[in-house]
């Protein structure tokens, strides 16, 4: 689901829902032709209600999981912006020319973090560039103990850099690795198919067919599944974390010298 475009997720879910309903309907009709008394067998409505309840629970669980990670990505963005801003301010405590070098590296670092490319290869290049800049910043920080800078000042700057590096790692892991597992997607798809098949079976037992209801169910459940898939995406989709805080920080820090 994550690799498919949203329109494909929506269309495939519509086909799944409508196909499952029709399958359940034809199964009920086939059973009625073989055994007409089957229309009076068991509480079909209660079974349909129970299956739809399970589907609603699974949809709510999956939506909540995707929504919580979306909120976490926004929270980590704000924390990273604050951490970079703190590290930039603490460079004023460093001796020259180390202070200017650190400021320039942080400006370049923010420039790379201000946008999220959609292409996976471009994303890999951005992450590799960020790692390289981190190594350069850390190298400068490790050269400070050999200067006349007081140890507490050095410790403050090093702690600020550690926060920047840790938050970069957290954002990368949450964005690129913490996704809805394939097992949950498969379970959700299977539950949608089973629930819609039971709905179609109930229609077939009553020998009633309503295309408007079929399409209403198809569009409703497809919209819910598509929304979950959109929340779970990071670099593409309509629900993306706004990078405006990082862009504003980039404007505050000014352009890099190189």
Q: What is the CB-side half-sphere exposure of residue 216 using CA atoms within 13 A? A: 5
Instruction: Please list, in sequence order, all residues whose beta carbon lies within 8 angstroms of the beta carbon of residue 40, skipping any fewer than 6 positions away.
Output: none
Residues of the chain with pLDDT under 70: 1-2, 35-44, 117-120, 146-149, 207-209, 235-237, 256-258
What is the reported pLDDT for 117?
Answer: 64
Q: How many CB atoms lie within 10 A of CB 218?
A: 21
Rg, Å, the chain Cα set: 27
The single-letter DSSP state of residue 256 is -
Question: With contact defined as beta carbons under 8 Å apart, do 52 and 217 qualify?
Answer: no
DSSP code of 96? T
CB neighbour list of residue 73: distance below 8 Å, 6 or more residues apart: 171, 174, 175, 234, 241
pLDDT tens sequence across 223-247: 888 888 888 877 666 777 778 888 8
The pair of structure tokens assigned to 119 is 């292409």
Contact 66, 180 (CB under 8 A): yes
- The tokens for 113 are 């973090």
Residue with tokens 């198809």: 218
User: What are the boundaries of each domain within the chain?
Assistant: 6-75+113-241
According to the model, what pLDDT value does residue 8 have?
A: 85
pTM of the model: 0.78
- The CA angle 45-49-53, to the nearest 5 degrees, is 170
Structure token digits, residue 69: 């990670």
């Amino acid at each position: 689901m994550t690799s498919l475009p949203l329109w494909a997720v929506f269309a495939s879910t519509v086909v799944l829902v409508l196909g499952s309903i029709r399958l359940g309907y034809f199964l009920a009709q086939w059973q009625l032709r073989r055994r007409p008394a089957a229309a009076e067998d068991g509480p079909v409505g209660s079974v349909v209600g129970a299956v739809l309840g399970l589907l609603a629970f699974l949809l709510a669980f999956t939506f909540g999981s995707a929504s919580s990670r979306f909120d976490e990505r926004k929270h980590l963005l704000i924390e990273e912006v604050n951490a970079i801003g703190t590290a930039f301010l603490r460079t004023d405590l460093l001796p020259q020319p180390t202070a200017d070098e650190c400021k320039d590296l942080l400006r370049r670092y923010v420039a790379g973090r201000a946008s999220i490319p959609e292409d996976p290869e471009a994303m890999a290049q951005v992450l590799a560039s960020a790692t390289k800049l981190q190594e350069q910043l850390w190298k400068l920080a490790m050269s400070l103990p050999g200067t006349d800078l007081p140890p507490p000042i050095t410790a403050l700057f090093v702690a600020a850099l550690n926060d920047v590096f840790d938050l970069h790692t957290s954002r990368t892991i949450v964005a690129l690795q913490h996704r809805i597992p394939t097992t949950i997607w498969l379970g959700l798809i299977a539950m949608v198919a089973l629930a819609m098949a039971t709905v179609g079976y109930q229609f077939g037992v009553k020998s009633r067919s309503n295309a408007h209801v079929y399409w209403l169910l198809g569009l409703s459940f497809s919209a819910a599944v598509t929304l979950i898939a959109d929340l779970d995406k990071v670099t593409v989709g309509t629900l993306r974390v706004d990078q405006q805080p990082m862009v504003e920080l980039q404007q505050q820090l000014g352009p890099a010298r190189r």
